[in-house]
Structure 1
Amino acid sequence: MSENALLSARDYALQIEGLLERNRYAHARVLIGEALAHYPNDSTLLFAAARVDYDTGARDEARHTLQQILAHDPDDYAARSLMVNVLQDQGDLPQAELLLIELIREYPEAGFQYARYALLMYRTLHIEKAQALAREAFRLDPNNELALTTCLIGDIIDGRKGAEQAGLARLLQGHPESENTARMLITHLLSRGRYKAAKRIAVELLKLYPNSREVLELVVQLDALSHWSMLPLWPLNRWGWAASGALYVLTLLGLNLVRNQAPLFASAATWTLLGYCAYSWIYPSLLTRWLKRRAGL
């Protein structure tokens, strides 16, 4: 029989917590197995098992254990809070949102939960709602790093002065889920034509991964799209072939209308259009090449 056989469930939990703080998951798993053999229904020990499974990537096992806890105690705060992470990682975002709403309703002063909800809303690209939740999280708990992270993401999107100097990269490092959200936001902002906002977030990612060629190329791409000299091409970059087709059709209609009444104007418009087409085909690649060379790519 093990020396720890006579330990109480609480003593087991304390030892396991110490192992988890030092990321000694293998040892913690062995001790959890031993503890659960003596106290199979102890919610603290079961939660420790779920934590080990979650932290080591065993999401399905973590979810099963959390469901076991919640079957006995549906109001268990820690189990529900960790379940939000599991649901998000497994892509069950609607269920994660419902659980977060439930936690916020029961604990309206928990700024951390508002920050998590804000992060989920950024992930699902509900940016205005996310920013409102982030502000509330920061109001409730201004010292919480996740609340500060979500606020800074919103500030950087909006281009508020001083946001880039507030250390978002450092905060993202402590919250991998925030980093993933930042990448999704860049994609979303790109699709909306908000290139400067996307670039500001990409620059923060580059601070986090200064040796990443992928992130540096992303910053260069966004630098080109947000460059002042690319402003005339914004409609084409924003809407792609749809904008090109609309421009072509409108130009043809316009030239047909004025050709007979104002031939000089029609000629000037034709040459302007040809120049614009040449500019749109040649200039972006030249600018991108120059920016890549400047960045050392």
Structure 2
Amino acid sequence: MTAPSPALARAEALLLASRPQEALAELATLPPAEAVGAAATQLRCAALGQMERWQEVVEAASAGLAASGPDPDLLRHLGRAEHRLGRSQVAERALLDGLALAPQDVELLCTYADVCAANGQTDKAAKLVERAAALRPEAPIVYATRIQVAYASGDDKGAQRMSREFVAAHPEHPAAHALLGGTSAIRGQVDTAYEGYRQAAATMPTEQAFAESALELRIARHPLMLPLRPTLRFGALKTWAVAAAMIFGLRAIGQPVLSAIVGLLWLVFCVYSWVVPPLLRRWMRRNWR
């Protein structure tokens, strides 16, 4: 068996370090015979996927499958990319073909679960991720997928609990902290959300999205944002509905003065929400380190 070239090993290391552009540059130096092999194609698909160049992932995976024949990893990359491009039926076919070849493949099971959850098939997604969990219960992808399925099912509390478990099991994993940040933000727990994204950004400083989320949550934690916490927790629509119900409810029970006071307070709240956050965001971004 021929050992992989140093360029292939370097490309794999760069991918693990979240440096996909450099990984692609290494893959471009491979000899022609190795460049079209399954291992190089899988790394190419992974690098393009990290950069969210999904159409190119489809093209690379399809070319690899045409050249080398059915391959579970390439079918997983193809299915994931087709899903991201909005072609769910094509994605499902690719993932099912992959599972027919490797029914115990945890990454394939979790990718298929993600597709099902995104399509509203949460019961099917839960069964798929439980199959994966039975095989590798501590795998990061299993934790991440269980969280996504719980969120898709409307179980925000369960998703946050699983995120805490993910962090406890893999404290060095940036996705664990990011998911804890995301699930906490959904539940209006700004401090926990900020800490989650701050840890994710510290663990993976090359991921700009983590740093941006940490900054937004740092802004949300500012004392000037305290009056707006109800909006952050429940959303603008629900907050508006409660205010409207109070204003018209007080008027309906014969309390026009109180209704007017609540209406005035609501107007002040609205003006505050329009003016303060943009100014605060501009100031904090200017001073962000």
Pairing partner for 1:274 from 264, 268, 271: 264
State the Cα distance separating 1:222 from its structure 2 match. Answer: 5.1
Tell me, yes or no, if structure 1 residue 160 matches structure 2 residue 168: no
What does 1:20-99 correspond to in 2, within 5 Å? 20-23=8-11, 31-34=30-33, 46-51=37-42, 53-55=44-46, 57=48, 59=57, 61-69=59-67, 73=69, 75-88=70-83, 90=85, 92-99=87-94
Deviations 1:204-225 (A, max 9, x none): 333121476522232135547x
Task: Compute the displacement of 1:80 (Å).
Answer: 1.9
State the identity as a percent: 11
Question: How far does residue 239 in structure 1 lie from its aligned partner after superposition?
Answer: 1.7
Aligned pair count reads: 251
Query: What is the distance in 2 between the residues matched to 1:234 and 1:30?
Result: 49
Partners of 1:118 and 1:56 lie apart in 2 by 22
Question: What secondary structure, in the 3-state scheme, does the structure 2 residue paired with 1:160 have?
Answer: helix
Letter aligned with residue 198 of structure 2: L
For residue 206 of structure 1, the aligned residue among 167, 190, 198 is: 198
Contact 1:29–1:49 (Cα < 8 Å) also in 2? no
Asked if 1 retains the 8 angstrom alpha-carbon contact of 2:110 and 2:132, the reply is: yes
Corresponding residue for residue 14 of structure 2: none
Name the amino acid aligned to 2:235: N
Secondary structure, counterpart of 1:267 in structure 2: helix
Deviation at 1:47, TM superposition (A): 1.8
Distance in structure 1 (CA, Å) of the matches to 2:112 and 2:90? 12
Does the 8 Å contact 1:80/1:99 carry over to 2?
yes
Q: How far apart in 1 are the matches of 2:156 and 2:80?
A: 25
Structure 2 partner of 1:140: 135
Q: Partner residue of 1:170?
A: 172
CA displacement, residues 258-279 of structure 1 (integer Å, 9 cap, x when unaligned): 44xxxxx332232233234324
Q: Deviations over 1:7-34 (max 9, x none)?
A: xxx53xx334x54222276676555414
Larger radius of gyration: 1
Q: Structure 1 residues 281, 109: CA separation in 2 closer, same or farther (over 3 Å shift)?
A: same
Q: TM-score, normalised by structure 1?
A: 0.58
Q: Answer whether contact 1:168 1:204 (CA < 8 A) is retained.
A: no
* Greater mean deviation of Cα atoms: 105-114 or 156-165: 156-165
TM-score by length of 2: 0.59
1:160/1:219 CA distance change after superposition, 3 Å: same
Change (3 A) 1:245 1:52: closer
Of 145, 168, 174, 1:150 maps to 145
Which runs of no fewer than 5 residues in structure 2 stay unpaired? 12-22, 49-55
1:113-136: CA deviations, max 9, x gaps? 2222344456x3859555664444
Question: For the residues of structure 1 that align with 2:256 and 2:233, how far apart are their CA atoms?
Answer: 23
Matched residue SS, 1:139: helix
Q: Is residue 209 of structure 2 the alignment partner of residue 196 of structure 1?
A: no
